[in-house]
Structure 1
Amino acid sequence: MATFCQFAFFIAFGSLVSVHADMKLDCQQDFVSLVWTETRPQVDTSQYRLGNCFPTSVTATQAIFKVELNACKFRKLVTGDLLQYSNNLTYVSSELELLPFSLPVTCVYQRPKDWYPMIYNPVFDTYGQGELLFHIGIMNNDFTGPAESSSFPLGSLIPIMASVQQASHQPLQLFIEECVAATTPQLSPNGDKYTIITNKGCLVDSKVSRSRFIPRQKSSEILGFLQAFRFSTGEQVYVHCTLVAWDPVGLDKTKKACNYVQGHGWELVDNPSYNSLCDCCESSCNARKIRSTPLGNEMVHEVVLGPIMISEFSDSLF
């Protein structure tokens, strides 16, 4: 591999372990060194995995990996002049007091000028093979499985997860562009609708309720809670959404997930330091020209969640 500049990123979505550990990531030309240091005495450091690789060595407090970029199921993505390798650090213990987790690890390099993909047209910024499979569903409260019921009392929180299965695609990040609620499985131009998400990922319902996106566990999934609303109490409700799978390092105001935080304003769920991407939620998030990809319309998919039954509830949940 030719000599090139390099950058290292460690992105921790969620707060299960970030306060209990320290991570050092060193992205070298052909390999990655990662040292995860734990402060919790009950953690078995041998249970950490980088992709499908076991630690190179362990101590009582550290899991140490020194692995090549072409091993451990690192995923490679080429976007413009950048070459990105990504993987996940996971903890696989089955102990109940230590919940399993997965944290993304990414190294980004300047693409060598003489490097081109072997089987893809290099003018494409995102490429892949195989079919993209989109899904949306109602989950249980901790997102470990599907919900047992689709009936919810007014004011309760409905856990929702959308995902995309990528087959042999390069890594993609999933977004929900739009969502509206209706009483029919097919949208009617003249039917009643309630807007939940609009303007390319702005969860406008969070301005008047406890609905919110929550931090991701995987880039190919997006999680959130929808507060059961008095849109059509006692009737079946269907939530119609537009899902978009996109290059995870090509984000802008048209590819985002934004919550409204009372007293603070709009916040970008994936990285609050880039909250400015949500500024357009109060106006219009104009779409830029979409880059050509060999995936064509597979990148965008319409899904329907439901039917959901929302019932009256005598005690206030607010």
Structure 2
Amino acid sequence: MAYFLPAVTVDCGTNSISLKWAETQSLIDPSLLRLGDCSPSSFSAKPGGGGEALFHAEFNDCNFMRLVTGDELVYMNNLTTEGDFVFSHLVVCAYEKPSDWGPPRFDPVFFHTYGQGELIFHMGLMKDDFSGPSPSTTFSLGSVIPIEASVAQQGHQPLLLLMEECVASITPELGPESHLYPIITNKGCLTDSKKTNSRFLPRKRVSELRLYLQAFKFVLGEEIYIHCTLLAWDPNDLDNSKKACHYDKTNGGWELLDDPSQSALCTCCDTNCRSRNRRDIDSDSQGLSQRTVLGPLTVVAE
């Protein structure tokens, strides 16, 4: 399976991807291109600008996101560039979901549970006081959307739940043409909190994460789905790529939810928070991520 877009050619293999970026005239230095957190496997630059960059990667490398919806298994990543020139291209490989795949197929309800190994992830819309699931999936523009995520660890070592990324879309599946509203980006930065009153709430336990999301003007009156990557991680191994940060308008800066004294980990939220290569939970039991979809919900004008 292959597709071509200007400057980018993608070949999706069974468990891997090959990607070629080629441009005859460009301000982009091909050595600065990144597929997720991976550098090019090889590259060549041309005098006067442009060149080629090749990526060969397994789906369990380079911080690929995995999404299981309906009958499809989808792997997604972003091709970006470091430096001053901004470039971003969504890379998607979609496959028919294997019959023995673990997580349940997506149904349009507003509370979801996904199992992965010894960990079971949950994400749902809640009442304002988090005493139970929300009785409604309709929210007025500017109101609070309470969201709770948790991980049941079933005897596993204690793990801290984080949200690596969340975006809103009008579809339960993401694709190259998806119109997205960024909520959490840059490895745990609640980007939406810088322009709205969205914020993380103090934890009740390390395995839960609560969020007040201010209902945003993305689309009004249409169904919205929130796509998130949840990460269960070693609480003693936080860094600028494993964190939960929101913007504190009172102090005019980013704050680390779990330890404000270490808010320096959040300073990259306005630039680029680089991820270390993630190690597999089976090899060192540090953590495991799961892509989840919440929705549909609807935002309406008052």
Give TM-score scaled by structure 2 length.
0.59
CA distance in 2, matches of 1:216, 1:189: 35
SS of 1:226's equivalent in the other structure is strand
Q: Are 2:277 and 1:289 aligned? A: yes
Residue in structure 2 matched with residue 20 of structure 1 by the alignment: none
CA distance in 2, matches of 1:298, 1:216: 19
Residue in structure 2 matched with residue 199 of structure 1 by the alignment: 186
Unaligned 5+ segments in structure 1 are 1-128, 314-318
Residue in structure 1 matched with residue 71 of structure 2 by the alignment: none
Residue 176 (structure 2) aligned to one of 169, 174, 189: 189
Q: Are 2:140 and 1:166 aligned? A: no
Q: Which has the larger radius of gyration?
A: 1
SS of 1:281's equivalent in the other structure is helix
Post-superposition offset of 1:130: 5.5
CA distance in 1, matches of 2:159, 2:257: 17
What amino acid sits opposite 2:225 in the alignment? Answer: Y
Residue 291 (structure 2) aligned to one of 282, 297, 302: 302
Post-superposition offset of 1:291: 3.4
Residue in structure 1 matched with residue 60 of structure 2 by the alignment: none
Asked if the contact 1:132/1:298 (under 8 Å) is kept, the reply is no
CA distance in 2, matches of 1:170, 1:192: 38
Asked if the contact 2:279/2:286 (under 8 Å) is kept, the reply is no
Residue 280 (structure 1) aligned to one of 260, 265, 268: 268
Residue in structure 2 matched with residue 146 of structure 1 by the alignment: 133
Residue in structure 1 matched with residue 201 of structure 2 by the alignment: 214
SS of 1:275's equivalent in the other structure is helix
What amino acid sits opposite 1:171 in the alignment? Answer: P
Residue in structure 2 matched with residue 3 of structure 1 by the alignment: none
Asked if the contact 1:258/1:268 (under 8 Å) is kept, the reply is yes
Asked if the contact 1:212/1:259 (under 8 Å) is kept, the reply is yes
Unaligned 5+ segments in structure 2 are 1-115
Post-superposition offset of 1:288: 1.2
SS of 1:294's equivalent in the other structure is helix
Asked if the contact 2:233/2:286 (under 8 Å) is kept, the reply is no
Post-superposition offset of 1:156: 0.2
Runs of 4+ in 1 over 6 A off after TM superposition: 295-298
Q: Which one has a larger percent strand, Structure 1 or Structure 2?
A: 2
Asked if the contact 1:197/1:205 (under 8 Å) is kept, the reply is yes
Q: Are 2:121 and 1:134 aligned? A: yes
Paired-residue identity, %: 53
How many aligned positions are there?
A: 185
Q: For the aligned residues, what is the CA RMSD?
A: 1.8
What amino acid sits opposite 2:166 in the alignment? Answer: C
Residue in structure 2 matched with residue 24 of structure 1 by the alignment: none
Residue in structure 1 matched with residue 46 of structure 2 by the alignment: none
Post-superposition offset of 1:293: 3.0
What amino acid sits opposite 1:309 in the alignment? Answer: T
Asked if the contact 1:182/1:193 (under 8 Å) is kept, the reply is yes
- Structure 1 residues 213-258: Cα deviation after superposition (integer angstroms, max 9, x where no partner): 1111010000010110110101000000000000111111111110
CA distance in 2, matches of 1:182, 1:130: 28
Post-superposition offset of 1:189: 1.3
Quick one: structure 1 residues 298 and 201, their matched pair in 2 at CA, closer, same or farther if it must change by over 3 Å? closer
Asked if the contact 1:157/1:225 (under 8 Å) is kept, the reply is yes
Q: How does 1:3-82 map to 2 (within 5 A)?
A: none
Asked if the contact 1:130/1:169 (under 8 Å) is kept, the reply is no
CA distance in 2, matches of 1:264, 1:297: 33
Post-superposition offset of 1:289: 2.5
Asked if the contact 1:130/1:168 (under 8 Å) is kept, the reply is no
